[in-house]
Amino acid sequence: MKWLIILLLFLVLIAVVAWYFRKYLQSAWFLYQTFRRMRKQMRPPQEKQVEPKSRSGDTELVRCPKCNKWTPKEEAVKLKSDFFCSLTCLEESVTFNKRA
Ligand SMILES: [Zn+2]
């Protein structure tokens, strides 16, 4: 019986402390959520750095090594250091390189 009273008192104490610090706990939780959101928002640019795309206003032209056609870099298909005007040219170039 003595242990039950002590346990009950202990639980009440925890409840009181939790109630007293509820605002503190809430703001701590809010900070934690904000921090998590910030980390999520910071991740996408790092992933985009793997394949950089120039989003400047000027359209840079690249020449297709297959058909010698000039194409805007954003529309071109990139393979290693070469830019192809279309997937067809890229595929033809790849099969041509394999045969050679
Ligand atoms: Zn081409």
Residue 69 inside a domain? The answer is yes
Distance 48 CA to ligand 1 centre (A): 26
Band of the pLDDT at 65, cuts 50, 70, 90?
Answer: very high
Q: Find where tokens 């033809």 sit.
A: 92
Residue 38 inside a domain? The answer is yes
Supply angle C-alpha 6, 9, 11, rounded to 5.
110
pLDDT digits (tens, 9 = 90+) for 24-40: 889 999 999 999 998 88
Distance 55 CA to ligand 1 centre (A): 23
Is 6 in the same domain as 42? yes
* CA dist., res. 73 & res. 64, Å (int): 10
Distance 90 CA to ligand 1 centre (A): 7
* CA dist., res. 55 & res. 97, Å (int): 32
Residue list, CB under 5 A from ion ligand 1: 64, 66-67, 69, 85, 89
**What does the pLDDT read at residue 42?**
79
Is 43 in the same domain as 66? no
pLDDT digits (tens, 9 = 90+) for 66-75: 999 999 999 9
For the chain, percent of residues with pLDDT exceeding 90:
49
> Which comes out higher in pLDDT, residue 59 or 87?
87
Q: Positive or negative CA dihedral for 82, 87, 89, 95?
A: positive
What is the span of the domain harbouring residue 78? 61-99
Collapsed DSSP state (helix, strand, coil) of residue 69: coil
